[in-house]
Amino acid sequence: MSIDEVIAQLRLLGFRLSIDSLRAFLEQATRNRFSPVQITEKLVEMERRERDERNLVARTRAATLGKFTPLDRFDWNHPRRIDRATYEQLHSTAEFIERGENVLFRGPSGVGKTTLAQNLGLAALTRGYTVRFSTMAALLTDLLRRESLPALDRCLRHRYVNPRLLIIDEIGYLPCDSRAADLLYNIVSRRHESRSIAITTNLPFKQWGSVFPGAACVAALVDRFVQHCHVLDIDADSWRQKSAKASK
């Protein structure tokens, strides 16, 4: 059997490796007289690596993290107060995801909450987890435009319940109605103690009622979210205001 025929059979079996990669390896294996075991081991290794890379690309696309500042460029000296040790522990191990624990980033606008949350999402992706990032406004727009209950449930389940880490950005910046509160409660309740949520907000919990005026589920929503939650309060001046003053 020729090399091209072997490649064709491997592709029929579902190998994701490119034809060029397969041909280059098989030609090398032939020249160097690799044993059948060596060839098999190397093919398995190459195929596993290819599938892992493709899986990461697909999960990264689905995560919709967007562009953000890498963690190695985050100025930890800028905040007056931040629990860096807790954040680095969450970032370096992702054990909180295995335990279904939540994370809250709280502080005024422009202090790096979103950046830290996005970097937490990236760390989870590199460890093989599924991630979804969305602002609160985009999440509600996505769900409320569904024209039927089955379509709403499919979107809710696929995008906001199933991912191992859900990041909801900017809770508290825009007021929401009671239906929005019910949707958020649905997400938090269905993920409770099994899948992690990271939230960024500028408000203490006692003021969340002002975001969802008249919603009866706010207390239950907060109660479920905080039961297993790491709270990271950030006290700092706005990065954007600082940059604007510096540029002037």
Closest CA to 199 of 140, 133, 110, 131: 133
How much is the pLDDT for 1?
85
Query: Does residue 221 register a pLDDT over 60?
Result: yes
Rounded CA separation 242/171 (Å): 23
Query: Does residue 245 register a pLDDT over 80?
Result: no
**pLDDT tens across 42-93, in order?**
999 999 999 989 999 999 999 999 999 999 999 999 999 999 999 999 999 9
Q: What percent of the chain has pLDDT over 90?
A: 91
Q: What is the pTM of this model?
A: 0.86
**pLDDT tens across 160-194, in order?**
999 999 999 999 988 898 999 999 999 999 999 99
**pLDDT tens across 99-117, in order?**
999 999 999 999 999 999 9
| Three-state DSSP state, 69 | coil
Cβ–Cβ < 8 Å for 180, 212: yes
How much is the pLDDT for 214?
85
Closest CA to 136 of 158, 121, 114, 162: 114
Domain locations along the chain:
3-62, 71-247
For domain 71-247, give its CATH number from 3.55.50.30, 1.10.40.30, 2.40.50.140, 3.40.50.300: 3.40.50.300
